[in-house]
Amino acid sequence: MEAEEARAFLQQRLALLGRVYGFIGLSFYLAAMLVLLRLPAGSWQQFERGAWVILAANSVYLIQWLLCRRGRHSERVLRLIDGSSMTLVAFLMSLKIFDSYPGEVPGLSYARTLLLVTYGLVLRAVFVPSSAKRTLILGLIAGSFPVATSYIWYSTQKASVPAAQQAIWTSLWSLSSVVISTLASRVIFGLRQQVREAWRLGQYTLLEKIGEGGMGAVYRARHAMLRRPTAVKLLPPGKGGAEQLTRFEREVQLTSRLSHPNTVVVFDYGRTPGGVFYYAMEYLEGVDLEKLVRRNGPLPPGRVLHILRQVAGSLSEAHGVGLIHRDIKPANIILVAERGGAADVAKVVDFGLVRNLDEAADMTKDDIVRGTPHYLSPEAINAPEKVDARSDLYALGAVGYLLLTGRLVFEGRTVMEVCSHHLHDRPVPPAERLGQPLPQMLCRLTLDCLEKDPDRRPESAADFLARLARCDDVAPWTENEARNWWKEHGASVMTGESRTPSGAMTSVGALSVIRGADGRGR
C-alpha cells in the first residue's frame, strides 16, 4: 500500500512538472515568435533555429504530462520517463550555445545555455520526489551536455580563452547546479519522509481525514502488518482540556466493552510520546443515514424496520451493561453494503457522549445539556441528570420518523425553538406528514418512542425489538432487495452530491445549553 502511494504521487508530480514546464516554455516560444515578426526577414533564420530547439524541449515535457496525467504506470516506467525527459531536455538546451543572434554580445549564448540547464535541474528537484543519489546521477548526466557543447563551440571561435579552459569553467558551473539540485532533492525528499513518519501512530499510518467532530478527527488508516480496513480517531494535544481528554479516553474504554455486530468495533488505542491520544476502529465504507435521506428521501418501511432492528440490537447490548449512548442520530448510524455476509448493515458509531449508569458521578457536568437538538428527549433538555436508556429510544424514534417521512420530527429556526417543540408539542403522525399511507403498527411504535413521559415509551431496547417483531403489516426488506439497491445506488450515495428533498431536514446545529438555577435553558 505504501509503495502504491509513492508510485501514484510520483506519477502525479511528473504530470505536474510536465504541465508547468511545458506551458511556461510554450509561452516563451510564442513570445519569441512575436519578436520575430518585428525583425528583418534576413534575421529569421538564426532565430528560427533556436526557437525550434525550445519548441522541441517543451514538447518533451508536454508529452511527459500527457503520459502521466491518466492511467497507471509502474514505478519503473515513471522513473524511465523522468530520466529520459531530463536527459533529452538538457541535451536540447545545451544546443542553444550555437545560437548567436545578430548584434548579440559574444558569449551570451553560452550563459543562456548554462542558465537553461540549471533552471531545468532545479525545477525537477522541486517538483519530482527523488532521492539525492538519483538527482545527483541525473544531474551529472545532464550537466555533461553543456560542458561538451561549450568545448565544441569555443573550439570553432576566435576567442581569447582556450576551449579547454572554458570547458573547465562550464564544468564548475554545471557542478554547482548539480549540487544545488541535489541538496534541494535531499531536503524536500527528507521533509516528505518526516511528514510520513509524523502521520504514524504506533502501528498505524494515517492516510486521509474522513471526518471531524467535537471529540476529535477521524482518519482512514493502514496497519503496518494487518490488512483490515481501519479508521483512527485522535485527539491532538491542546485540542481540549483535561476533562475532554478524560471523556475521549473513556469513550474508547466503554466502546471496547461492546461486541454487538451493529456496534463499531474498536481494535486498539494508545497515546504517542507527543501526547496524541488515539484509538483504532473498523473502517466503515458506507453512508450515514442523514446523507442517505438527504439524497434519496424517505426509505421503504421494510428497510426502516430493518435498520431500526439493528440499531436497537446495538443499544440493547449497551443498555444491558449499563451504558447509554446519548447522541443517537442519523449521522451516527452508518449503513454499509455488507458485513459478515449480511447485506445492508447498520453500525452505531460515536459513543463520545456515552454515560455509564453504574458510575456515581457522570463525567459530563449535570448542568450542561449535550447532544443534537433534533433528537433530544424532553428529559435530556430539562433534567439531564435523569437521562436513562429510554432517552436513547426517544432519539431512535426520531431517527425512525426521519427515515419514514424524510422530515425531522420538529423543525425550528433556533436551538431553543426546537427544544420547545420537544418539551411541549406532539409530533404530526408520520403518514400525515408524508402525505401517503404507512404501516400503522410501525408508525404507532415510532410515536410511542416520542412520548414526552419516559414511562409511556418502550421500557427498554429489548422491548422495542419485541414490538418491532410484531409489526406484521410491514413488507419485509429482503436480502435480494438490499443487494440490488447497493449495486444500483451504492456508488452514487457515497460519492455523489447530496440533494435535499422538499421540506426535508433543516439543521440548527449541535446543542450545549447551560441550565440556570431555575432549571430552564438559557
3-state SS, one letter per residue, for 25-74? HHHHHHHHHHHHCCCCHHHHHHHHHHHHHHHHHHHHHHHHHHHHCCCCCC
> Of residues 82, 99, 288, 327, which has the active-site annotation?
327
- Cα–Cα separations (whole angstroms), residue 381 to 55, 243, 424: 72, 22, 12
Query: Which triple of cell numbers denotes residue 404?
Result: 419514514
- The CATH fold assigned to 202-282 is Phosphorylase Kinase; domain 1 (3.30.200)
Domain 286-514: give its CATH code: 1.10.510.10
- Residue 504, pLDDT score: 38
Asked if the model's pLDDT at residue 74 lies above 80, the reply is yes
Percent of the chain residues past pLDDT 90, beyond the cut:
34
DSSP label at residue 385:
G
pLDDT grade for 359, boundaries at 50, 70 and 90: very low
**Whether the model pTM is above 0.75:** no
| Per-residue pLDDT reduced to its tens digit, 475-498 | 999 999 999 999 999 888 877 543
Are the C-beta atoms of residues 205 and 2 closer than 8 Å to each other? yes
pLDDT in tens, 277-301: 788 888 988 999 999 999 999 999 9
Radius of gyration of the chain, Cα coordinates, nearest whole angstrom: 33
Q: How confident is the model at residue 173 (pLDDT cuts 50, 70, 90)?
A: confident
- 18: CB partners within 8 A, 6+ apart: 61, 62, 63, 64, 65, 66, 67, 68, 85
* Residue recorded with cell 492511467: 71
Residues 6+ positions from 328 with CB-CB distance below 8 Å: 311, 315, 348, 375, 392, 395, 396, 399
CA-closest candidate to residue 171, choices 134, 143, 136: 143
pLDDT greater at residue 19 or residue 437:
437
Judge whether 448 counts as a catalytic residue. no
